[in-house]
Structure 1
Amino acid sequence: MKLILNTWIFENAIKNEADQIELVDRVAKLGADGIEVRREYFKDIDLELKAIGERARKQNLIVNYSVPDEIFLEDGSVNPRLERYFDEGKLMGINKIKFNTGHFDRFTGNLKKALGGLPLDQIEMNVENDQTAVSGTVQAIKTFLDQANKAGLTQLGYVYDLGNWGFTHSDAVQSAKDLAKYTHYIHLKNTIKHEDQMVTSADLDTGMFDWKNIISYLPRDVSFALEYPMENDEQILEQIKLFRREVGEY
């Protein structure tokens, strides 16, 4: 299994004007297997796309791409920006691209025709449980992936995002059981209830979820990503060691 660092980890650096090109080298020095680039963090997307790809190849890093957009728009139509996102991914040489499902409940067309033109043979496309009622429920995700599977789009998969189940007040264990067969990628973060709101923890072992138990219900042969802000590289290294120590026994 591979360990990816999502660039949300480096939130402080991003706020201090670092770009994601720089973060490729930082991820490599931390000993991770890859980087997950966040589209919303680009400062000069045309410059950064190619440079990230080149630098990642030199460092022998996997590149995944997190896009904060949905597959199906509010009227149920397929998002016309999807093709552009895949083109951006090609420039970086990505393995996986991630979206939110959006309003698949309002889609009325032919699913294979609608999505079959995307380069799914080159880039793995996944959906994630986000923090909304539209795209953040087991029912919404499973309905879409069941239909995709029936339509022959068997390469479409799911990103199990542990922390987001806290924001939707869902059962993370049951969700893991229900979505395990579609899970291609796992995002790890924990969630703390602070007064009347949920916040993301900076430590996998601190929060409302027993992450080690939960991943026991999910596939072993998938990539994992750490996805929560941390203060410095020392803290990141400790979390990487924690993950590798525990998952080595998984």
Structure 2
Amino acid sequence: MAEVAIVASAFGAGSIWRDGHAAWLGATKTAGAGAFEVRRELMHDADAQRGALRALGTAIAAADLWPVWSTPDTLYADDGALNEAELRLAVESGRALGARFVKLQLGGFAGEAHLARLAAVLEELGVKGTDNAAPNAPRVVVENGQLEQGGKLAQFTALFRALRAGGEDKLIGMTFDIGNWQWTGEAPLMAAVALAPNVEYIHCKAVQGEGARRFARAPAADDPLCRAALARLPSDVPRGIEFPFDEARMQEDAARNVAWLASA
């Protein structure tokens, strides 16, 4: 059985904005999940300060869950430069929260020129790689997004190829979002085969609509794409629910989907 995280937005962005993340920890635990993904874009600025994040992390631990810290900031700027300030802020915020993963978007990675600096910054922050990170350090992972910049398979294969060539293949990991590839016209199954060795966290959702008017939805129990992608990805990494639950029966739907994703 895979470990399942619930992404805060699954309870509805409006609900998170109104009630705060902590209000949904009980529902997450009752649904059978083991983790809760905190979204920076659904927080007021005061709630993203270090003290508030430490308090939220304490509440998450008290609910017998572990947190993921997710930010829409990108690891690389549009011109390919390393976004050092955003990376430092993400790691420091994740550390305050007690996060297992700190998730950023990839952004404009275009070559290996800044990889040495990335390694130096991560080492300075105590989160370099899996073998030489500080105890209880958050793991930095990059996610394929819904935009062309940071959402193309070629960027990710180039990133991990460059890391391997430089002897830094474990420097950072990947969050593989099954649905997001469809926004950028990529084949999720091809991406799963190419990137599986680097995947440490999976976002699961189905997609409806066309073009820019696509929306996340719950996969059907026999959804062929999600099942085929999961079969090609590591089976021992956490899987996150990033599709909206049915508002009319939120708790029941959350429990059903956690059970489905754990065994899919």
Decide: shared fold, TM above 0.5. Answer: yes
- Give RMSD over aligned pairs: 2.2
1:30-41 to structure 2, matched below 5 A, reads 30-41=31-42
The answer for the alignment partner of 1:91 in structure 2 is: 96
Distance across 1 between alignment mates of 2:251 and 2:66: 20
Distance across 1 between alignment mates of 2:41 and 2:190: 31
Q: Secondary structure at the match of 1:228?
A: coil
Distance across 1 between alignment mates of 2:164 and 2:122: 12
Q: When the two structures are aligned, how many residues end up with a matched partner?
A: 244
Distance across 2 between alignment mates of 1:105 and 1:64: 27
2:253 aligned with 1:235 = yes
Distance across 1 between alignment mates of 2:4 and 2:206: 17
The answer for the alignment partner of 1:117 in structure 2 is: 124
Q: Secondary structure at the match of 1:105?
A: coil
The answer for the alignment partner of 1:45 in structure 2 is: 48
Letter in 2 for 1:55: A
The answer for the alignment partner of 1:71 in structure 2 is: 75
Letter in 2 for 1:75: D
Shift of 1:149: 3.2
The answer for the alignment partner of 2:130 in structure 1 is: none
The answer for the alignment partner of 2:108 in structure 1 is: 103
**Correspondent of 2:188 among 147, 154, 172:** 172
Alignment deviations for residues 21-75 of structure 1 (CA, whole Å, 9 cap, x no partner): 2222321222210101101111222253112111112122111111101111123
Alignment deviations for residues 131-181 of structure 1 (CA, whole Å, 9 cap, x no partner): 111110111112112222333431411111011112112111111001111
Q: Secondary structure at the match of 1:136?
A: coil
Q: Is the 8 A contact 1:191 1:207 kept in 2?
A: no
Distance across 1 between alignment mates of 2:222 and 2:151: 20
Q: 1:132 to 1:206 in 2, by over 3 A?
A: farther
2:60 aligned with 1:56 = yes
2:213 aligned with 1:197 = yes
Scaled by the length of structure 2, what TM-score is found?
0.85
The answer for the alignment partner of 1:224 in structure 2 is: 239
Distance across 2 between alignment mates of 1:193 and 1:209: 17
Distance across 2 between alignment mates of 1:205 and 1:135: 28
Q: Is the 8 A contact 1:127 1:141 kept in 2?
A: no
Taking every aligned residue pair, what percent have the same amino acid on both sides? 23
Letter in 2 for 1:171: A
Q: Secondary structure at the match of 1:83?
A: helix
Shift of 1:196: 7.5
The answer for the alignment partner of 1:82 in structure 2 is: 87
The answer for the alignment partner of 2:22 in structure 1 is: 21
Letter in 2 for 1:223: P
Alignment gaps of 5+ in structure 1: none
Q: Is the 8 A contact 2:3 2:237 kept in 1?
A: yes
Distance across 2 between alignment mates of 1:100 and 1:224: 18
Alignment gaps of 5+ in structure 2: 128-132
Q: Is the 8 A contact 2:22 2:56 kept in 1?
A: yes
Distance across 2 between alignment mates of 1:228 and 1:91: 27
Scaled by the length of structure 1, what TM-score is found?
0.89
The answer for the alignment partner of 2:147 in structure 1 is: 132
2:174 aligned with 1:158 = yes
The answer for the alignment partner of 2:158 in structure 1 is: 143
Q: 1:196 to 1:30 in 2, by over 3 A?
A: closer
Shift of 1:186: 0.6
Distance across 2 between alignment mates of 1:207 and 1:73: 39
Q: Is the 8 A contact 1:42 1:48 kept in 2?
A: no
The answer for the alignment partner of 2:10 in structure 1 is: 9
Q: Secondary structure at the match of 2:15?
A: helix
Q: 1:53 to 1:114 in 2, by over 3 A?
A: closer
